[in-house]
Amino acid sequence: MRKCIIAAVAVPVLLSFGLVLESFAQEDVAYTFLSGPAGPRVCLGTWQPSGDPALPGNCYGRLMDLNQFSASSARLGAERLSSVIDLLFSIDQRLSINNEQMQSLLLAVGNLQRAADKQASQNGGLNEAINRRFNALPQEILANDAFRREISRLREDILKDVDARISAKTPARGSR
Model pLDDT for residues 89-121, shown as the tens digit of each residue: 999 999 999 999 999 999 999 998 888 778 777
What pTM was computed for the model?
0.43
Do the beta carbons of residue 23 and residue 36 sit within 8 Å? no
Question: Exposure pattern of 11-40 as b/e (b: 16+ CB <10 Å)?
Answer: ebeebeeeebbeeeeeeeeeebbbeeeeee
Q: Is residue 41 part of a domain?
A: yes
Alpha-carbon dihedral sign for residues 158, 159, 165, 166: positive
Is residue 4 over pLDDT 60?
A: no
Q: Where are the beta strands (DSSP E) in the chain?
A: 22-27, 31-35, 41-48, 58-65
Residue 36 belongs to domain spanning: 2-66
Give the model's confidence band at 15: pLDDT under 50 very low, under 70 low, under 90 confident, else very high.
very low
Asked whether residue 104 is domain-assigned, the answer is no
Number of domains in the chain: 1
Question: Does any domain span residue 81?
Answer: no
